[in-house]
């Protein structure tokens, strides 16, 4: 990983700790600072399933968790509900620009991050361990972001803002 991500030793170490202890990490920073590359490289290096969700103002909770669709059997015409898994069914999930979507959609991650499961139409689905969320939050420069609620922030073991934001040199903070 250090061959791909240069100069972020502390962030690399703490993200790996987050994964190994079953926590999650929130990375804040400007675009182009290798946040996505870092998370994708970690998944590839460890041979884990990686998915990315681009959070936008119109993203719905079912876009994250998955949804039931009706399928018709062409042989007999019988219709059945089939669950189509969403991107939350990954080992490493990058929640890209998590603060660009409304709280209703942000909260779709809460059950998964805490319980390692998700509920769709009243049906519960377990997520395969390890399950690690790396949330990427962009600095609010234009007023187009939604603050993360305390319930969401509590799910993140680490928050990184290491020289990636205009807040100075704060590297890491433990959430209590």
| pLDDT tens column, 130-173 | 999 998 877 666 666 777 767 677 777 777 653 333 333 333 33
Sequence-ordered strand ranges (E) for the chain: 25-28, 50-54, 66-72, 79-85, 92-96, 117-120, 123-126, 132-137, 158-160, 172-174
**pLDDT attached to residue 98:** 87
Residue 22 in tokens: 């079953």
What pLDDT score does 8 carry? 77
Q: Is the pLDDT of residue 117 over 80?
A: yes
In this predicted model, what pLDDT tens digit does every residue of 54-79 receive, in sequence order?
Answer: 999 999 999 999 999 999 999 999 99
Distance (Å, whole) CA 101 – CA 169 = 27
Q: At what angle do helices 9-20 and 35-46 cross, to 10 degrees?
A: 50
Give 20 or 33, the one with higher predicted confidence: 20
pLDDT bracket for residue 174 (50, 70, 90): very low
DSSP label of 7: S
Instruction: Give the angle subtended at the CA of 157 by the CAs of 153 and 163, to the nearest 5°.
Output: 85
Closest-CA residue to 157 (of 35, 22, 43): 22
pLDDT, tens only, 85-112: 999 999 999 999 888 888 888 888 888 9
Query: Is the pLDDT higher at 10 or at 75?
Result: 75
Judge whether 155 and 114 are in contact, CB under 8 Å: yes
More confident position, 137 or 26: 26
């Amino acid at each position: 990983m250090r061959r791909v991500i240069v100069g972020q030793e502390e962030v690399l170490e703490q993200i790996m700790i987050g994964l190994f202890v079953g926590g999650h990490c929130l990375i804040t920073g400007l675009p182009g600072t290798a946040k996505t590359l870092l998370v994708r490289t970690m998944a590839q290096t460890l041979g884990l399933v990686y998915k990315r969700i681009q959070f936008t103002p119109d993203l719905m909770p079912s876009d994250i968790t998955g949804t039931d669709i009706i399928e018709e059997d062409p042989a007999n015409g019988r219709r059945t509900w089939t669950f189509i898994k969403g991107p939350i069914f990954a080992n490493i999930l990058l929640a890209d620009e998590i603060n660009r979507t409304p709280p209703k959609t942000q909260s779709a991650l809460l059950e998964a991050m805490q319980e390692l499961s998700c509920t769709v139409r009243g049906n519960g689905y377990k997520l395969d361990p390890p399950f690690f969320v790396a949330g990427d939050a962009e600095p609010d420069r234009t007023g187009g972001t939604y603050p993360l609620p305390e319930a969401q922030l509590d799910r993140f073991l680490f928050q990184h803002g290491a020289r990636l934001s205009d807040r100075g040199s704060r590297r890491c903070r433990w959430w209590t």
